[in-house]
Amino acid sequence: MKRIVFAVGLVVLTFGAAILAQTQTESVEQELIKLEKETNDAWVKHDVEAYARLLADDYLCTGPDGDIITKAQDLAELKSDENTTTSAIADDFRVRVFGDAAVVTFRLTYENQFEGKESTGQERFTDTWVKRDGRWQCVAVHYSRIEQK
């Protein structure tokens, strides 16, 4: 009888741990999606402080032309009035969590003004996040334009 109780207890404990791990992963996924949306909102609002908090000091962004942008360069562009994002809507999220690191991909539909000209389009992003000192920070971004057909 003790063996049966032990075996049942072990099975319940194992399934409970698996369910807890799944719940925690889903919670992290939702947190990262929220942070991605906050980065987009910061661009629309020109909120340099909010955006800076989300980026790691060693952050790098690689654009479709292969150029690499540092955190300082990205923040300078956000401060500039030369390029204004009026709308940034992210969807089609996919989040993969690897402990204290995660990769988030999504599609961004944007409207902006650059040198007085309005433009719209879509881009596909792949962002890498790392949990440091208890909070998620974006350490790398790569994006490419989605050609309109």
Residue with tokens 């942008």: 69
> Which residues constitute the domain of residue 48?
2-146
Does residue 104 have a pLDDT over 90?
yes
Question: What tokens appear for 106 in the block?
Answer: 């999504």
pLDDT band at 72 (very low <50, low <70, confident <90, very high): very high
Does residue 71 have a pLDDT over 90?
yes
Does residue 20 have a pLDDT over 70?
no
Provide DSSP, 42-96: HHHHT-HHHHHHHEEEEEEEE-TTS-EEEHHHHHHHHH-SSEEEEEEEEEEEEEE
- Distance CA(42)–CA(34), nearest Å, equals 12
Number of domains in the chain: 1
Q: What is the CATH number of the domain that holds 132?
A: 3.10.450.50
pLDDT at 5: 57
pLDDT at 33: 98
- Distance CA(145)–CA(149), nearest Å, equals 12
Q: Which of 23-32, 73-82, 97-106 has the lowest mean pLDDT?
A: 23-32
pLDDT at 115: 81
Strand partners, 84: 113
